[in-house]
Chains A and B, each alone.
Chain A
């Protein structure tokens, strides 16, 4: 027997419970319900329920499982007036979702009741294509992409670690990438520093990195800090960045950066490399340990030779830099489990990863509660001073302060 639209609508109403916008609002806050907007892109772009997922009705079967893997999570669907959401809800019920409702009166009624509205980020049509693989994933989506575009990441060093990190952060659409490096491109860099190029030997690394980044993604605003990171400028340089990707290898810079980033509450994604081996962790202020918790004092230089002395397999900083970019993106988006409190060791010869647990030092002179209180009182705790006599400082005027700011 042929059915009319009215028949189908009546059947849907009989099958699917409807909730008022007020009730939907309550479900959203109270029961961890997923609100799904099933309208078309242009309707969504004109405003939507805050926190809602957007899956247009034509894609509901294909994409709902990504957004709601569990079949018993409460789901509220809405459209403009409350009809399309009823039919979409029937589909979800047929797929085995057990708690699906449709919002009465749809977004029009939500809006008429004066409820909060989120204006989606206006991605340009070019951005929608460029970032389409991100937009497809609910963990990123348009909101996450907008977050990335509005984010600022500082790379300490445009070297081996910074090269791969910068390329992928730029490709991902991190809107502002700052680079601090005072060095120039050298032929011996090109075995691993893939952001530079043969025809840029002798050029400033910052400028070379900017050219590569903007050739890949003109969305990215590249800020160049053509200077050394020193005590006098560290706070000015890092202020305003959301995440710092640390590709330094002088201990003085590392401690300097650590102390300033803790004070300004900026997470530092740290990596270091040696020959066939890399280490990676995230120093998230007050959530996990800081660099001083891990290593209160630096090693003497003979126990911490750099790549130009010890050598490094070119892919190792590339791999570690990519893992840094991964951590930075997770921190910016607030997704996944960060590496705060975990150190990952990568061994290229074994092709193995090993994880070690790190802890906050309750007596840390920089990130312990006592240290925070002391700073607030204007009397910061003493930290080990790394002056001219510090064991890691090179002699002959090549103090760590003079070379800090280069990159791995």
Chain B
């Protein structure tokens, strides 16, 4: 079992959980297992063609899998997998703020 961390931005889609233990031999298997368990997370992670979206980075023990073997990167028990989508930041531009008010 490897531990997969869910970033704040995806937590609502994952039922509020912060992390979960998932079974898989590779990063791809883990992420797909996550998508199976939480389909609305999966919808945000993968393109329609089943590729990982380019605005989501995946790290195994702090290393970007793009520079390992991508989704084929092997994982073993106790590895930590983190998903990290690009974050907007703290938007406060007047125009959208005024819109929201």
Contact = CB atoms under 8 A, between A and B. Distances in A.
Interface stretch (A47-55, A242-250, A261-269, A331-339): A242-250
A96 B53 CA distance: 60
Given A161-B90, A249-B89, A274-B8, A354 B82 contact: yes
B90 A159 contact: yes
B100 interface: yes
A37 to B, nearest CB: 44
Nearest to B5: A354
Nearest to B45: A303
B54 interface: yes
A304 B90 CA distance: 10
A356 B62 contact: yes
B97 A304 contact: no
Contacts of A214: none
A233 B62 CA distance: 37
B90 to A, nearest CB: 3
Interface size class of B (residues with CB under 8 A): 20 to 34
A106 B44 CA distance: 70
Contacts of A160: 90, 92
Interface string A29-43: 000000000000000
A226 to B, nearest CB: 13
Nearest to B94: A183
A277 interface: yes
B66 to A, nearest CB: 8
Contacts of A4: none
Interface string B37-69: 000000010000000011111010011101100
Contacts of A193: 92
Interface stretch (A81-89, A113-121, A290-298): A290-298
B86 A295 contact: yes
Interface of B: 7-9, 44, 53-57, 59, 62-64, 66-67, 82, 84-97, 99-101
Interface of A: 159-161, 182-184, 186, 188-189, 192-193, 247-251, 271-277, 279, 294-299, 303-310, 312, 316-317, 343, 345, 347, 354-359, 361, 394, 398, 402-408
Given A295-B55, A296-B54, A306 B95 contact: no
Tell me the dominant secondary structure on chain B's binding face: mixed
Contacts of A271: 89
A299 B67 contact: no
Contacts of A294: 57, 86
A189 B44 CA distance: 30
Given A182-B94, A249-B90, A356-B59, 6 more contacts: A247-B89, A272-B89, A276-B8, A309-B100, A347-B8, A406-B92
A14 B61 CA distance: 59
A282 B91 CA distance: 20
B92 A279 contact: no
A181 to B, nearest CB: 9
Contact of B55 (A249, A299, A355): A299
A297 to B, nearest CB: 5
B16 to A, nearest CB: 12
B93 A405 contact: yes
